[in-house]
Structure 1
Amino acid sequence: MLQGFKDVPRVVWLLAAGVFVNAVVSFTFVFVFLYLTGPRGLGADRAGLVTGIGGIGLVAGNFTGGWYGDRFGHRRVLLAASTLGGLALTVFPLLPAPLLYAALPLAQYASGVVRAANSALVAVTVPEGARRQAFAVVRCASNGGFTLGPPLGALIATGLSYDWLFVGDGLGTLFFALWTARAVPSRGASRNAAAAAADGGPGRGGLWAELRARPAVLVLLGAILVADLVYRQQYGTFPVFLAAHGHGTRAFGFVIALNGAVILLLELPAAVALRARPPLPVIGTGLVLVGAGYTALLAGVGTASAVAMMVLLSLGEILYKTTATAYVADQAPEHAAGRFQSLYAGVSVSGVVLGPPLGGALYTAAPGLLWPLCSALAAGAGGAVLYVSRREARHAARPAHETGSQPQAVAG
């Protein structure tokens, strides 16, 4: 299997090592609500407002991080956002309650910018043809860190205090900034910033024209928006659904741990095995599997159906997330690599904000409709991607005089 990763540059492995360490200590998002309602003494409504605004900050950071990177250089933006986010988290326990409404969104915004800039760095560092493997390496490192983080965070919160969670997360983020500064060369940043400036910069148009020239990317972004809304239900309505049917927190923890285990076990082998396959059919199949996961819950509420749901969901995630990230990177023109990655990064976490209120409202009003609708939406999103894939394949197979086009180099 290692032979399949020979084209992944050394800098990506170094970046993945930093991502792993940062992910291990990124445990505050798991415990922030408990911290706000516990040691900080906020009511559930105020704590929900703070965390909700923080989620908006995360999505906004993902949407804008690539814009900054195209203008100023992705490495430079990654360093600045990591430093800002690390400092905000480190001082978080010292802030009075009113400032938390600003500090948490700021830290989350910086985290979103880091995520987008990190993806853009991989996109501009790795040549087309090896990006799936490169993104799989980084995702595997991140998932491995997040698997270790929550148990470690629970030990710190109970053995020391919740305050140390934020200090540890902040110091880990600052370490990631230092690690990136030493591990990632700066030569690519100025080149990409110069290319964006020559194109007129992130704020002067041009992006929409590039997207219209790539209709499959637009369809993919819409499909990912729908899929993430469905995907995030595993963290919101799914545990409520389990509890309502007599399965407590322990069962939910086991099922979520299964997600991490499947991804860690299979994501890298899948990236190697499927690296030569056309990306859109792989993505579409993954989205359909996400829908199939929620369909498993219609068979009844028990250990077997919950396990089947999570295994199918995890397999779908393995197929679509890494492949879609690499596909968007491959389709992006050089001067807009960061902006394309930002669009994908923002859309791919939109369910963090949209999922809980929409899923919760539907589950409250008509609980029997939630899982069939989730299944239908994900399957529809996958079907749309598969349809575009077949359409592009037919178009590519037709002679140039029939399509009205002439052979030309593809940007990006």
Structure 2
Amino acid sequence: MQGFKDVPRVVWLLAAGIFVNAAVSFTFVFVFLYLTGPRGLGAAQAGLIVGIGGVGLVAGNFTGGWYGDRFGHRRVLLTASALGGAALVVLPVVPTVLLALVLPLAQYASGVVRAANSALVAVTVPEGSRRQAFAVTRSLSNAGFAVGAPLGALVATGLSYDWLFVADGLGTLFFALWTARVVPARAAAAPSAAPDGGLGRGGLWRELRARPAVLVLLGAIVVIDVVYRQHLTTFPLYLADHGMDVKAYGLLIAVNCGVIMLLEIPATLALRRRSPLPIIGTGLLLVGGGYAMLLLGVGAATAVAMMVLLTLGEILYKTTATAYVADESPEHAIGRFQSLYAGVSISGFVLAAPLGGLLYATAPGLLWPLCAVLGAAAGATVLAMGARGVRRRGRPAHETGSPRAAVAG
């Protein structure tokens, strides 16, 4: 664990809170069943509400860092956690007609928390140690979700679906209180009060144009996230159509969680001194390669191989890309850069199901070859940028991710 000595204690404490919160964040798994079951909605109505909630989640990811740069990332995380937690706690008693308002609001707050949390880690940890820090928070988050899914099933069947939302809301409120306690309130640098957030003329777009590799990476992540999330949307349908039941799919998801928990931190340690873009590009190629395995035919062996390759790719690109965007951010806009990455990295949450579902319904034989090609194209593009050594030159000393005495806001 020598490589983690530069990860501040506050990040470990924050990650502990993330684990607890993730362990009770199981409503997203069961929300459709809740709406069509106890709430008595039709599939179309439930799908519309879940879809609006997904848009809210993505919007929260895109805006959370913007709020943090202006008002302080800690303050934004606390506010969004409190609002989102309260919305989830009261959701079981909310009239059905208001569900389309309250559930997306809770999802929006969840997205803001996700972006604010990434920005909080980014401003706490110096460049060179951010990969390890994000690996810690991501590993504990995945561990929490691995515990949460079966726990949620027990709560739903043993108690009621209502308790899922109450537990999730209380977990989110706990995370707000925990963050308030473990993250220092004092600021290393006050948030900018300027209307443009201190970006000056040309704003965020000027900063992005000065960093072409970041722009290319963001585009590649949009593509790969739509591809990656097919394993949560069309892939289980594909398995069912080929005689593999829900239990088999559950075991494959367990493989995903298990490999992440076993290899995420060791892989980050082993590769922490390597150039980030080649690692990211290789990860994207592995995601595409996972879907290419399905071209060999459906069966236990190809399904497991697909999931292992997909997970290895996820381990390589997700943590490294998050840290890379943070390292490339101007100091006064770390939150906005993290919001951009957070938003594109969850874009598949909205796009994967309709795009993949449409293709699977009309031309099922094309879905996996297209996923493989898109993954290969995204990976090759990022690898090419890495080979060119594209990075903004003449980076000022104050933008190199120097250590900070405390967390902003």
Under a length normalisation based on structure 1, what TM-score does the superposition of the two structures give?
A: 0.94
8 Å contact from structure 2 (residues 284, 379) kept in 1: yes
Name the structure 2 match of 1:248. Answer: 245
- Can you list the C-alpha shifts for 1:59-104, whole angstroms capped at 9, x where unaligned? 0000000000000000000000000000000000001111000011
Q: Within 5 Å, which residues of 2 pair with 1:77-88?
A: 77-88=76-87
Structure 2 unpaired stretches of 5+: 401-409
Of 277, 291, 295, the match for 2:292: 295
1:61 maps to which residue? 60
- Asked if structure 1 preserves the Cα contact closer than 8 Å seen for 2:199 and 2:332, the reply is no
Q: CA deviation at 1:411?
A: 2.6
Give, in whole Å, the separation in 2 of the partners of 1:222 and 1:329.
16
Which string of whole-angstrom CA distances, capped at 9 and with x for unpartnered residues, describes residues 6-33 of structure 1? 0000000000000000000000000000
Return closer, same or farther for 1:297/1:248 CA change in 2, 3 Å cut-off. Answer: same
Aligned length: 400
Contact 1:11 1:183 in 2 (8 A): yes
Partner of 1:197: 194
Task: Specify the alignment match of 1:100 in structure 2.
Answer: 99
- 8 Å contact from structure 2 (residues 260, 311) kept in 1: yes
In the other structure, the counterpart of 2:304 is 307
Kept in 2: contact 1:19–1:176 (CA 8 A): yes
1:156-195 correspondence runs (5 A): 156-188=155-187, 191-194=189-192
Once residues 367 and 406 of structure 1 are traced to their aligned partners in structure 2, the CA distance between those partners, rounded to angstroms, is: 49
Pick one of 208, 211, 229 that aligns with 2:208: 211
> Using the alignment, how far apart are the partners of 2:80 and 2:199 within structure 1?
18
**Which deviations, in whole Å up to 9, do the C-alpha atoms of 1:333-385 show, x marking residues without a partner?**
11000000000000000000000000000000100000000000011000000
Residue 186 of structure 1: how far off its partner (Å): 1.4
Task: Tell me which residue corresponds to 1:21.
Answer: 20
CA distance in 2 between partners of 1:254 and 1:408 (Å): 49
SS in 1 for 2:194: helix
1:181–1:203 Cα change, 3 Å: farther
SS at match of 1:93: helix
Contact 1:71/1:202 (8 A) holds in 2: no
Q: How much has 1:204 moved relative to structure 2?
A: 7.4
- Within a 5 Å distance, the mapping from 1:249-328 to structure 2 comes to 249-328=246-325
Is the contact between residue 16 and residue 138 of structure 1 (CA under 8 Å) also seen in structure 2?
yes
Match of 1:347 in 2: 344
Residue in 2 aligned with 1:401?
none
Report the equivalent of 1:377: 374
Is the 2:256–2:311 Cα contact (8 Å) retained in structure 1?
yes
- Select which of 207, 220, 243 maps to 2:217: 220
Equivalent residue for 1:90?
89
Identical aligned residues as a percent: 74
CA separation of 1:50 and 1:201: change in aligned 2, threshold 3 A: farther
Report what 1:10 is aligned to. Answer: 9
Report if the CA contact (8 A) 2:87-2:105 is conserved: yes
2:403 corresponding residue in structure 1: none
1:4 shift after superposition: 1.1
Question: For the residues of structure 2 that align with 1:36 and 1:250, how far apart are their CA atoms?
Answer: 23
Of 236, 239, 246, which aligns to 2:236? Answer: 239
Q: What is the Cα deviation at residue 199 of structure 1?
A: 5.9
Q: Which residue number in structure 1 is paired with residue 38 of structure 2? A: 39
The one-letter code matched in structure 2 to 1:99 is L
Aligned partner of 2:374: which letter?
Answer: L
CA contact (8 A) 1:20 1:144 kept: yes
Q: Distance in 1 between matches of 2:184 and 2:356?
A: 43
Distance 1:119 1:212 in 2: 22
Distance in 2 between the 1:187 and 1:154 partners? 41
Give the 3-state SS of the residue equivalent to 2:279 in structure 1.
Answer: helix
Shift, 1:202, TM fit: 7.4
- CA deviation after TM superposition for structure 1 residue 200, in Å: 4.0
Q: Which amino acid aligns with 1:191?
A: A
SS of the residue 1:41 aligns to: coil
| Distance in 2 (alpha carbons) for counterparts of 1:85 and 1:43 | 26
2:260 maps to amino acid = I
Deviation, structure 1 residue 319: 0.2
- Cα root mean square deviation, aligned: 1.7
User: TM-score under structure 2 normalisation?
Assistant: 0.95
Q: Secondary structure at the match of 2:39?
A: coil
Contact 2:65 2:339 in 1 (8 A): yes
Output one character per residue of 1:247-304: Cα deviation in whole Å (capped at 9) or x when no partner: 0101110111100000000000001000000000000000000000000000010000
More relative contact order, 1 or 2 (CA 8 Å, 6+ apart): 2
Letter in 2 for 1:132: R
- Compared CA separation, residues 66 and 204, structure 1 to 2 (3 A): farther
The CA distance in 2 between the partners of 1:52 and 1:208, in whole Å, is 29
In structure 1, the residue matched to 2:119 is 120
Which secondary structure does the structure 2 equivalent of 1:191 belong to? Answer: coil
Question: Are 1:192 and 1:334, in contact at CA under 8 Å, matched by a contact in 2?
Answer: no
- C-alpha separation in 2, matches of 1:350 and 1:313: 18
TM-aligned CA deviation for residue 392 of structure 1? 1.5
